[in-house]
Structure 1
């Protein structure tokens, strides 16, 4: 039986726990289509479910796009509704009850507010907490930063998605415990392969010639992505290379701002907004270059997916992106403060498309060698075993 309904009170559903398996509870603020959220069903599909049973609690009912993906992989999902971070604090009792009812042995939290509430619940229920940090601390709101730091010692293990993220934690948190381990995000390289033919045929959908260079991105429309800057770079490239097309896949709170910017730049003939897509692979298959102008990142799952699909990355060196891209070898990397450098650097590749293909192949090899989902899951299970053993 799968629990996927929105809970309207503190009553928990049927107990499904198998005493022979280690019960892991993931706590995350939402289950929308962000990078951290999308990793949950991907890792679940590779976990040893004869050894582990996985539960998931989230709080924002309107961000539930990944729930079905988790359930299809036998995850047990429960929403404990909360409208904001303050209300999340009020759900501590319900979480503790859930932990005790389902005999949870490990709590695994993702991102600060879920981390804070998970640490409190873990302490009350006497269950160890593992925390994955997805972003650099410098970018957090003051309240987020304070509560995250104040409660940080109340966990058994911290996993940082990149060396940059680990360095940021160590810069701001000067204690030796809990232990911090770099565990880079991974993806399913067999699933994210350009060699698989998929529908829809995106170039046909948007009347893009097969010979045209396509530059794109898949993302949530957040401030950190600097999509208005992305559009400005795209506009300048198109001014020189009029046959280049651009695709943006995603949605978010800044949708109106992004659409208005595109309209002001008069890009409708060559810019295609695909909206939020449950399946992004056909869109990645249509792209030659995956461009990001982010101000900050952890280690973007969307970028890993694109590289695995043999899209050449062209990005600002935000967060862990610099650990993925070697400029001039498997992609293009420019300083965070100078995203306009992408214009000149990409011009060299657009003039010689064979260079794009060569860099894209190297990008695929980078992900296959260092960022596979199997490697990530094995490291996660080792962490769980260590934590349970104490």
Structure 2
């Protein structure tokens, strides 16, 4: 008999937590586990078909906002009863709040994955998180920084462990032909440097600083190009700044993309400008794809990237240094190539998605058996 695991998540759009779900499902032992997924924002569904293709069972329980989501506890309880769910696995605070309410009614064990540090949440979110945190079986931080934040801010009675995010290194391998083809499609000269990022366009990612840094670099190296893959609430503001700085012919916005391999393959440098992070999936994917990393020291980034080894780092908000670090790699191509090689090796040795999946399965077995 297979153990039935229900993932509860606010949306199935293209965020880091959401992208991990089909990636991990493809590697899970589905002879031992059956995976279900409930999400609430029907307009954020980019991962739905991919999860279904991998054998997952997906259900949308529509909710327009966080308060409506919390009120869906009865429908989730009904789903659990109908499908005989054994374990709930919740992602991010509002799904976590819901899962803990389901636990109070059903006593189904709950695993909660935290993707951000507590200090970055709204005071109300932090309060509810702290008040309800012990109404679950186990919490997992995606980085040591996230785990430390939970312990210091909440001091929970339940186990809190670190389970580092991982990347499927077999899939995320640089494809030079696809990179060249994408450059040709966008009208980027084949020999030109490309700086890129793949992200949800929200405040956390600080993409206005990304554009400012690119503008500084472009003044000294006018032949470079930029690619920003994604979408989100800050999109208009970002594009307005691009227009204001007269960069509309140099920075491309291809929108949301299901297949990101060609985009990573076209990038020489992956520039991350985030104000804060847990452990960003796109960063690990970029490293696996042999992109040279230039990033802020945001959260778990420093657990993956060692300065002057797998990338060049600066303080969050310091876009001038971000630009200077990129120019350093343009000026010293031999250094960029070494960083690209080290980045791939770092992911292979320390951030294997298969290892992450096996560790997660061990925790599922432990909880299922009441240990």
TM-score bracket, shorter-length normalisation: over 0.9
Q: Deviations over 1:300-356 (max 9, x none)?
A: 001111110000111000010011111111111111142321122222210122221
Judge conservation of contact 2:196–2:271 (CA < 8 Å) in 1: yes
Q: Deviations over 1:40-59 (max 9, x none)?
A: 00000000000000000001
- Return the alpha-carbon distance in structure 1 between the equivalents of residues 283 and 240 of structure 2: 25
Q: 1:273 aligns with which of 253, 272, 283?
A: 253
Residue number in structure 2 paired with 1:141: 122
Q: 2:80 aligns with which of 99, 124, 130?
A: 99
- Return the alpha-carbon distance in structure 2 between the equivalents of residues 210 and 143 of structure 1: 50
Q: Deviations over 1:86-107 (max 9, x none)?
A: 1112111111111111111100
> Any gaps of 5 or more consecutive residues in structure 1?
1-19
Residue number in structure 2 paired with 1:327: 307
Task: Map 1:235-250 to 2 at 5 A.
Answer: 235-250=215-230
TM-score (norm 2): 0.98
Residue number in structure 1 paired with 2:182: 202
Task: Map 1:192-341 to 2 at 5 A.
Answer: 192-195=172-175, 197-198=177-178, 201-341=181-321
Residue number in structure 1 paired with 2:361: 381
Residue number in structure 2 paired with 1:6: none
Residue number in structure 2 paired with 1:17: none
- Return the alpha-carbon distance in structure 2 between the equivalents of residues 27 and 106 of structure 1: 11
- Return the alpha-carbon distance in structure 1 between the equivalents of residues 247 and 287 of structure 2: 26
Q: State which drifts further: 82-91 or 40-49.
A: 82-91
- Return the alpha-carbon distance in structure 2 between the equivalents of residues 237 and 124 of structure 1: 56
What stretches of structure 1 move > 2 A for 4+ residues in a row?
195-200
Residue number in structure 1 paired with 2:18: 37
Q: 1:343 aligns with which of 315, 323, 334?
A: 323
Q: Deviations over 1:157-203 (max 9, x none)?
A: 1110001101111110123x211110011111010001474488211
Q: Deviations over 1:206-255 (max 9, x none)?
A: 22222211100001100011111100000000101111111111111111
Q: 1:72 aligns with which of 53, 73, 82?
A: 53
- Return the alpha-carbon distance in structure 2 between the equivalents of residues 190 and 51 of structure 1: 23
Residue number in structure 2 paired with 1:27: 8
SS in 1 for 2:319: coil
Task: Map 1:29-178 to 2 at 5 A.
Answer: 29-175=10-156, 177-178=157-158
1:362, distance to aligned residue in structure 2 (A) = 0.5
Size of the aligned set, in residue pairs, is 370
Judge conservation of contact 2:175–2:261 (CA < 8 Å) in 1: no
> Any gaps of 5 or more consecutive residues in structure 2?
none
- State the Cα RMSD in Å: 1.2
TM-score (norm 1): 0.93
Judge conservation of contact 2:139–2:161 (CA < 8 Å) in 1: yes
- Return the alpha-carbon distance in structure 1 between the equivalents of residues 257 and 84 of structure 2: 36
